Amino acid sequence: MGMFDKLIANLRSSKKTIVFTEGNDARILSAASKLLKEELMGVILCGNADEVKKAAADGGFDITGAEIVDPATYPEMDALVAQMAELRRGKMTEDECRAALSKSNYFGTMLVKAGKADALLGGATYSTADTVRPALQIIKTKKGSNLVSSSFILFREKDGVEEKISMGDCAINLGYTDRVDKEGNVVLSAARQLAEVAVETARTAAFFGIDPKVAILSFSTYGSGKGGTVQLSHDAVAEARALDPTLTVDGEFQFDAAVSAEVARTKCPDSKVAGQANTFIFPLIEAGNIGYKIAQRLGGFEAYGPILQGLNAPINDLSRGCTADEVYKMAIITAGMA
């Protein structure tokens, strides 16, 4: 399992509970049966009990020990509705909250908020937006965070050596523009937003045993190019250093300057990051998404994520094309972050 050994050991010593929003999905049931058999965490499956049990029986999955909760019959629904209405005061009525909680993405998220579960994993059938939206509305961003972002942890073993790198943001933020108030004053700059992604991605990397050396990328190295994302990436470096003075971060870099010692000696010989970066921050989602998939498909890395960052509790999103093994591993990551 490589990178999962420490997470598994921690989970066995401090049992957490995870809620799956799609309890009757075969991939979820397969992963849940394995997690329960290995006694790694408590499991809550959202869905109609009869349908969930039938799907488990049809697939040959033993979910003994799992708690199955159905929004339609949940005995504490009135309390959840009242709690959500208070959280969404002025934005959603009680009736609107009740309607939202009839859907397992909102219902599962409220179970985390109410302390019934420590973490949530969804997205096997829901879109990323349908997993993130309830998290933003109910779990909300943690103190000091202005946005939710994501990162991928990429892992490979080559010639007996394990290698881990991190990439963000590859799944959530399309791009970064200044946020302004009604008078047109900038209240949160684009550079500050990208800097937050850098800081949070570095923290995620550190959680997985990476000593983060953060490269904020563009198509320019130290001003060699103009236009596009160059100024954004350049300014984000200064913002990231201000946010976390202990962070080893530099840029803006082209990717070759970030990873090649030979190129770094030519382009930026005094950098503490260039030529040895292991945490990569992309200025646009197109670049990030393409970048991690290239590493995965051509570099032979296993990609784990997207891991959501900036929230008050671990809420993670699955690809709708995920496998049961990916669900199992993402469950370990998600519960392990609780």
pLDDT confidence tier of residue 162, bands split at 50, 70 and 90 = confident
**Residues with Cβ < 8 Å from 288, sequence gap 6 or more?**
167, 168, 169, 170, 171, 282
Rounded mean pLDDT of 185-208?
Answer: 95
Whether residue 284 sits in one domain with residue 326: no
Determine the structural domain holding residue 120 and report its residue range: 2-140+312-336
Do 212 and 113 fall into the same domain? no
User: Could you tell me if 91 and 228 lie in one domain?
Assistant: no
The first and second tokens of residue 90, run together, are 């002025």
Reported as a single tens digit per residue, the pLDDT across 51-73 is 999 999 999 999 999 999 999 99
Which pair of structure tokens corresponds to residue 128?
């990323």
Q: What is the pLDDT of residue 321?
A: 79
CATH value at residue 112: 3.40.50.10950
**Is 1 a residue whose pLDDT tops 60?**
no
What's the pLDDT score for residue 298?
95
Mean pLDDT is lowest, of 40-49, 125-134, 142-151, for 125-134
Q: Position of tokens 């999962």?
A: 4
pTM value is 0.89
Assess whether 94 and 40 both reside in one domain: yes
Task: Output the pLDDT for position 123.
Answer: 84
CATH of the domain at 255: 3.40.50.10750
Q: For residues 122 and 115, give the distance between their C-alpha atoms in angstroms, rounded to a whole number.
A: 17
Confidence of residue 2 (pLDDT cuts 50, 70, 90): low
User: Looking at the structure, do residues 293 and 167 belong to the same domain, yes or no?
Assistant: yes
130 and 10: one domain?
yes
In 3D space, the residue among 281, 237, 274 whose CA is nearest the CA of residue 259 turns out to be 274
Could you tell me the pLDDT band of residue 125, with boundaries at 50, 70 and 90? confident
Percent of the chain residues topping a pLDDT of 70: 99
Residues 326 and 317: beta-carbon distance below 8 Å: no
- Does 170 lie in the same domain as 129? no
Q: What is the number of structural domains in the chain?
A: 2
Q: Are 195 and 169 in contact (CB under 8 A)?
A: no
Strand-strand pairing, 149-158 and 161-168: antiparallel
On whether both 131 and 211 belong to a single domain, the answer is no
